[in-house]
Structure 1
């Protein structure tokens, strides 16, 4: 079964007309995962700067219930739902402060403050807004684009889950492994934004601080075409006399817990690690309590082991889980 929608539907997921046209042209997709893979490639490598700004402009300011006039009805409804936690936790003073900071942000950067707001309280969003306000414009532009992609993924999941008999495509979902090259993460920034600055100064622009922990994850339930909420996640690092665990052998070290959390409504884990400039090189393991999430599934739990090298300590490692009752896959994302 192939899955696809028209340009109008994709425009509700992301307000860029270029993105919507490219997605409609690439349809139909063999699975939800296939659609996500293509969507990321289009957003980071085909949509230009104007397209990014167009998508940003389709969002209401955080804390507002009305969407811009050019946003679709579906997009407006989704925006309201995504901000439901923030709206429910807002007070008179916090709403006023959020409005003031929204205005300051818009004046500095020229576009609306963008954050994947699902499950976030007003206080959490306000704290993130204040922290990101200190960023340089080019750094914040990249962060906003990444947040837009998170929102797009969430909305694509809603769009695909609305299709009847989505569950019948489980077997196809589980056979697709999404491959995402690390360089795609900031491809459009390098190609469309920094070139002029580098030519004029002779120096490349570098991020001076992270906006999130160096290791993150999220879980997608591909059998239902939606995020997996409420799943327990555990992050560990290998410590011992040997630098890495030996396959099939015990001894020489042990796994040390760094953090734990439960996935939110977007399927994203909470903060598993502190926000630091340099990740410690070593072998890490992210474990997911899949048995508790789906007691009838084949896997009581899933663990993903990966290594961060000394040369990679400033990079970001997003290690998601794509899960169905009888299979799972992963990839290094952004």
Structure 2
């Protein structure tokens, strides 16, 4: 793909004047050094080239540059007011119980006191429980190890944000299954994800996975940016739900959004909803 045939949004970024392009990059990462290095790599033939340039720039950030990048990220559980992107990335905390949110705040403060910077994690697609577990686990790291992890997480976040800038960001999907008859998560259930172009068109397989010991499935592939519909098919027969050997759930999606779609399963009924 040549620069002229890049996705339209990426083409506009390539063609923008330096000041406009740099301003757009600063919405991705607050590091001036990162922004200038990525800016200097234009024009990008495709999104992958842009992501690779970002990864390389993150890897070369000095200590002060990394601190500058971290300063641009709000604490987990406290997205930047008026910033829908920040709220979307931290959607997993939105519906968390008050007690868990208080624990997250206390853990954030303890982490920041030890390491001198915000706890950074690529929050997209993660539940509140997962983020709380992560900060608890990472607070025991050495400062050197934690800086390595922070750099890795920053690279992931930058990639996701650049996907929005380049117009290539698709929706993401996760799920978990609760066996209401047994009163516990349903582990080992096969889950298939597919997409279609619109009503009446054929479903196209996208990926498969299986629920873990907590009944969660969080490694499904991202959807193509242009896909308006997604479908999850749960192979529920091994759960003892003989009346429902499988459950299929189709739903509408929008680019850049995360959709957590839990399944509550009983022998003769089920329910689904959009969670957080």
The TM-score with structure 2 as length reference comes to 0.58
Aligned with residue 155 of structure 2, among 126, 132, 149: 149
C-alpha spacing 1:55/1:299, structure 2 compared with 1 (3 Å): same
Match of 1:282 in 2: none
Aligned with residue 86 of structure 1, among 86, 93, 103: 93
Report the alpha carbon displacement of residue 77 of structure 1 after superposing the two structures with TM.
3.3
Match of 1:226 in 2: 169
Q: Which moved more, 1:117-126 or 1:8-17?
A: 117-126
C-alpha spacing 1:58/1:300, structure 2 compared with 1 (3 Å): closer
- Asked if 1:50 is matched to 2:64, the reply is yes
Report the alpha carbon displacement of residue 302 of structure 1 after superposing the two structures with TM.
7.6
Report the alpha carbon displacement of residue 34 of structure 1 after superposing the two structures with TM.
1.2
Match of 1:235 in 2: none
Post-superposition Cα deviations, 1:244-286, rounded to whole Å, max 9, x if no partner, equal xxxxxxxxxxxxxxx7887xxxxxxxxxxxxxxxxxxxxxxxx
Report the alpha carbon displacement of residue 322 of structure 1 after superposing the two structures with TM.
10
Match of 1:331 in 2: none
- Asked if 1:9 is matched to 2:51, the reply is no
Match of 2:232 in 1: none
Contact preservation (8 Å) 2:163, 2:169: yes
Aligned pairs for 1:316-327 (under 5 A) are none
Equivalent position SS for 1:128? helix
Aligned with residue 77 of structure 1, among 77, 80, 84: 84
Cα distance in 2 between the residues matched to 1:85 and 1:140? 23
Report the alpha carbon displacement of residue 104 of structure 1 after superposing the two structures with TM.
0.6
Cα RMSD of the aligned pairs, angstroms, is: 3.3
- Asked if 1:59 is matched to 2:73, the reply is yes
Contact preservation (8 Å) 1:82, 1:117: yes
Match of 2:127 in 1: 121
Unaligned 5+ runs, structure 1: 68-72, 162-224, 233-258, 263-288, 304-319, 326-334
Match of 2:230 in 1: none
C-alpha spacing 1:81/1:228, structure 2 compared with 1 (3 Å): closer
Report the alpha carbon displacement of residue 323 of structure 1 after superposing the two structures with TM.
7.3
Cα distance in 1 between the residues matched to 2:22 and 2:90? 25
Report the alpha carbon displacement of residue 17 of structure 1 after superposing the two structures with TM.
0.5
Cα distance in 1 between the residues matched to 2:202 and 2:39? 34
Cα distance in 2 between the residues matched to 1:261 and 1:53? 42
Contact preservation (8 Å) 2:34, 2:58: yes
Contact preservation (8 Å) 1:231, 1:293: no
Aligned with residue 32 of structure 1, among 44, 47, 51: 47
Cα distance in 2 between the residues matched to 1:63 and 1:41? 29
Report the alpha carbon displacement of residue 97 of structure 1 after superposing the two structures with TM.
1.4
Equivalent position SS for 1:13? coil
Contact preservation (8 Å) 1:23, 1:39: yes
- Asked if 1:130 is matched to 2:73, the reply is no
Cα distance in 2 between the residues matched to 1:260 and 1:226? 28
Report the alpha carbon displacement of residue 56 of structure 1 after superposing the two structures with TM.
0.7
- Asked if 1:104 is matched to 2:6, the reply is no
Cα distance in 2 between the residues matched to 1:299 and 1:88? 32
